Structure 1
């Protein structure tokens, strides 16, 4: 009887149409200095992560890397499974999400969102150096595009657009009041919204909109939330994005300017590479209330087996 040998890195599923591509300048970017593709790539990963890693590895540069799009192409896994796998692959050192603030011709400023992928697992120091190198490279002005990728929100439906604030209500208050309709675990009272309004308003001064704020607050919620107002207060403080000038210093004529920062693989909150070990913010590394703190400083050099051991521990966590 013939025996079928299965590869550890499966090929992309057959499809009558090509895989959807992101807008120009966005999507998948291959990391440099990768090892040649081999049949035993990702062999040490658990089955789900091995399958998804093998699929991503064969996607072309510029392919869309959002959770919803990947789940549509992977019939065995839903959005929650894909989101969890991407988080695990980030911990294992295979990917990082990066955003670039690009100033092109005429002083036009826009964010470009990319997912760097390496079939060779890398440590935090290597990824930090890559982000630093990207920051120093010149950037060619790219077509204006709308971001096709959104942070994964496991077990959540897509947040509804936040309506304009009622008379007397600020945009921050309206966004907080909307949280309970996106996920009942974060239902806030009017008094809660009033108390948290100043913290939420600070996010708006840093260039984010209400839709971004809602996504960041509902991403990766624990199964049970005993104190919605306490959890929201902590996330408003821990996940607040950095200050980014919306009117950068004008570049020399013909020389576009680029600013690069890493973002959390799970919720999309931006930050410096050293503040996002394993590509995750503090809140997404510790999603459960009352869970022990994870040391921020990790060994600079870790081999693949160490990554896999941590990955298996992550998958066993409730």
Structure 2
């Protein structure tokens, strides 16, 4: 089914399910600010789902089954195909990381999302932790002074909001009674940042703020401030950071794992159509080798017959 206005800003679900710890959406760094037409280069189905995913909070569930349930247009198979295409277009990568800590080794599974399309080389460097300070070309272009400007100064580019600000800004999407203004978010940002500094995940903080609301919230800002102050968890010493032993990219379609360079576009060789049987080498003997071997066997039989 086509979506008539694929570049329009979509309303994210009021209570999109969160993934289990270690899973879900992770936003890539150095993205340009949201703007109309961010996904205009994509087909209508992919643009529609990309607009929806882009508005989801960190740790939101990103599996095809959940994404099919939270929007009315596409089923699981269509969503799965669209996720594959979003990977090819450079917006998405699924990865698994093996972490070793004092409690032992474990795998965590992440879905990295980038509003700004990236090429395979960027994703490979990012997954190896080597993209700090990179700036998207679109962002650089926006900071270039405009010829003939009245002031001659370059226009300022909006900075990427902090994780704490993002949690507060998205509360209204999850619970309309807690819709906050920009000024409200700025005023409460430090209180929310203290929660994140104490180890509370952004998704968990959102849940704490929206659960058990009264029928009517007269002042969302005052209500959220009171919860941030009254329910602040104790500060705990941070455990020794785990050491990343290996990073594997998961095929967006089948989940097969491999190194980044082996899954261009986030798809394995088989799912991307690069492993067709016609391209494989034959496994049996060549015809001439079969004939030579048969001649050797016949000669051996004649020799043995003469000896008898």
How do residues 4-19 of structure 1 correspond to structure 2 at under 5 angstroms?
6=5, 8-13=7-12, 15=14, 18-19=15-16
Instruction: Indicate how the Cα distance of structure 1 residues 64 and 132 shifts in structure 2: closer, same or farther if over 3 A, else same.
Output: same
**Cα deviation, residue 25, structure 1:** 3.0
Matched-pair contact (CA < 8 Å) for 2:251–2:266: yes
Q: Distance in 2 between matches of 1:112 and 1:135?
A: 21
Instruction: Indicate how the Cα distance of structure 1 residues 135 and 127 shifts in structure 2: closer, same or farther if over 3 A, else same.
Output: closer
Matched-pair contact (CA < 8 Å) for 1:71–1:82: yes
Q: Distance in 1 between matches of 2:261 and 2:274?
A: 19
Partner in structure 1 of residue 263 of structure 2: 276
Moved more, 60-69 or 21-30: 21-30
1:63 and 2:60 equivalent? yes
TM-score when normalising by structure 2? 0.51
Instruction: Indicate how the Cα distance of structure 1 residues 255 and 135 shifts in structure 2: closer, same or farther if over 3 A, else same.
Output: farther
Instruction: Indicate how the Cα distance of structure 1 residues 255 and 76 shifts in structure 2: closer, same or farther if over 3 A, else same.
Output: closer
Partner in structure 1 of residue 46 of structure 2: 49
Structure 1 residues 10-69: Cα deviation after superposition (integer angstroms, max 9, x where no partner):
313554xx1001122321000011111001110111110000000000000110111111
Q: Provide the aligned C-alpha RMSD in A.
A: 2.9
Aligned residue pairs total 173
Structure 1 residues 87-130: Cα deviation after superposition (integer angstroms, max 9, x where no partner):
00100000000101112223x22211110000111000000001
TM-score when normalising by structure 1? 0.50
Structure 1: 5+ residue stretches without partners: 137-141, 144-252, 294-318
Matched-pair contact (CA < 8 Å) for 2:12–2:56: no
How do residues 66-145 of structure 1 correspond to structure 2 at under 5 angstroms?
66-106=63-103, 108-133=104-129
Structure 2: 5+ residue stretches without partners: 133-198, 201-238, 281-308
Instruction: Indicate how the Cα distance of structure 1 residues 14 and 122 shifts in structure 2: closer, same or farther if over 3 A, else same.
Output: closer
Correspondence for 1:20 among 17, 22, 28: 17
Instruction: Indicate how the Cα distance of structure 1 residues 38 and 275 shifts in structure 2: closer, same or farther if over 3 A, else same.
Output: same
Instruction: Indicate how the Cα distance of structure 1 residues 264 and 14 shifts in structure 2: closer, same or farther if over 3 A, else same.
Output: closer
Partner in structure 1 of residue 242 of structure 2: 256
Partner in structure 1 of residue 178 of structure 2: none
Q: Distance in 2 between matches of 1:123 and 1:263?
A: 17
Matched-pair contact (CA < 8 Å) for 1:26–1:62: yes
**Cα deviation, residue 75, structure 1:** 1.6
